[in-house]
Structure 1
Amino acid sequence: MKQNILKSVKGFLHNTIDYAGLFPPASLNLEDSFDNFVEYSNGSYNWMLSKFICPFRKTKDLSLLPGFKSSTQKIRLSLLSASSLKTDEFLLLFKDDILSYRKLPDEFHDKSIFETIELKFPLELVERNSKDNIRIFLDSLSEIVKEHFDHRIFIFCELPLIGDFDHNLKNTVKEICEHNEAFNDAGFKLRTGGTDPSDIPSPDILVSSIRQCLVHNVTLKFTAGMHHPIRHLDKGMNAKMHGFINVFGAAYWHFVIQFQIANSGK
């Protein structure tokens, strides 16, 4: 029985957890964070682990780490782009990040696999809340990536928790879906925690995000505040924090229900 349960757990959580040791609550330096990632990659729970999260601006430093140079495994990377409040400025910074990455030595590229980019929508784009603007922005990102890489790099787009979030969410996910008809390279990213109670979205926002992404067949990633398995009261912030088992479980059951409805003929 124990072995069967373990198989189901492995199937449920296989490669689902990116490692973000550079960020709170750990807030480690780059070397310690990377060394931890390598250690966990060789540990007994490595089946849960996916990519090492690193800002673009730290990739040069990453390439110089002794641990990176001596690593015998391909390091899967998810890179965070620079941010800006203005859309045009954001795109310029995004292109600069890509160009700087391309200039890294061949040894770095040989030892790593660049799989995903993570970014936060410019505030200007969110405030305008125009479907056309969102679509143009997404297409521009993909065109920049395609110009410099032969392989597909997936782009996760985070929507800030401001304004009429539910309305913004529906517009954004729908535009990602339509963008994917041409590029098939974008997903939605929801911030599920942080260092302040206001950073934690309500369960309703979580459910709405899961539902919209399922309806539009958009890949969903959760970030921050997911370092505990079960939802609980954090005494330091005096707020309830989400747990990754709860959130992943909710997403799974939403998928099951959608699948049953789609195949029931009702």
Structure 2
Amino acid sequence: MQYKTDQEIQSENATLDIRGLSLDYIMQDQNIHAVVDLNLVARMGKITALVGESGSGKSTVALAVMGIQGKNAVVSSGEIYLGGTDILSMPKKDMRSYISNHASIIFQDPIDSLNPLLTVGEQLVEAILIHEKITKNQARTIALNQLLAVSLPQPEKLMKKYPFMLSGGMCQRVMIAIASVFHPPLLIADEPTTALDVTIQAQILHQLDSMRKRDGTAILLITHDLGVVAEIADDVCIMKDGHIVESGTVDDIFCNPQHTYTRQLLAAAL
């Protein structure tokens, strides 16, 4: 009888399964090894935190999964399985379409991520119509419900406002509403609570937690904040200089850290 390894079992349940990914940035005078032989799994209905300091390569991983890592970025090895398909083996035009139907991303600065020339309603309706063959009125109804789902009051009034008229926390919830509008199997949240006050941060984390519970979404949380990780994550990967130096459940990492760097991060967070 052949038994499956833990890695094989995890991969079967994975919405995102990154295997041996190495990515370089090609510069004029040097190549920067941004990601080196990285393995990572994000499972359905779970939050996987990718933790590291600035420059560790964690945001590069997020961009690679979304296929937007930049023209000077070269994947030298590895696979990125999204919904069971290796997106790196797909033609560019097919890859973009496939990713847009399987994954969404919210960025650190929501105000810059929203179009300043369009109202909140116009942006939500546009996102809905990309994925659904319905009328604008039907899309508008869905948009209103999306805003209510992320606990934004008076959605009718909010639909008519422009991003600059909203607070950072409200913009971030609008981004979550847009990102979750087609119930993507994977949501990448890249530092979603940075620069928000503690109360608003808690609200954003609650929205992410509700999304994974309600829709079974796999969430890849990119962060440097171990307090956020302790509060919401199921699994944790610690990243340093392009490498995953340690991974495990949140209890494993916080109660029994093995790597010196992990222990340093935990000590600094106390």
Q: Do these two structures clear the TM 0.5 threshold for a shared fold by scoring above it?
A: no
Which interval holds the TM-score relative to the shorter structure?
Answer: 0.3 to 0.5
* Bigger helix share: 1
Normalised TM-score (structure 1): 0.38
* Bigger strand share: 2
**Structure possessing the higher relative contact order (Cα contacts under 8 Å, 6 or more residues apart):** 2
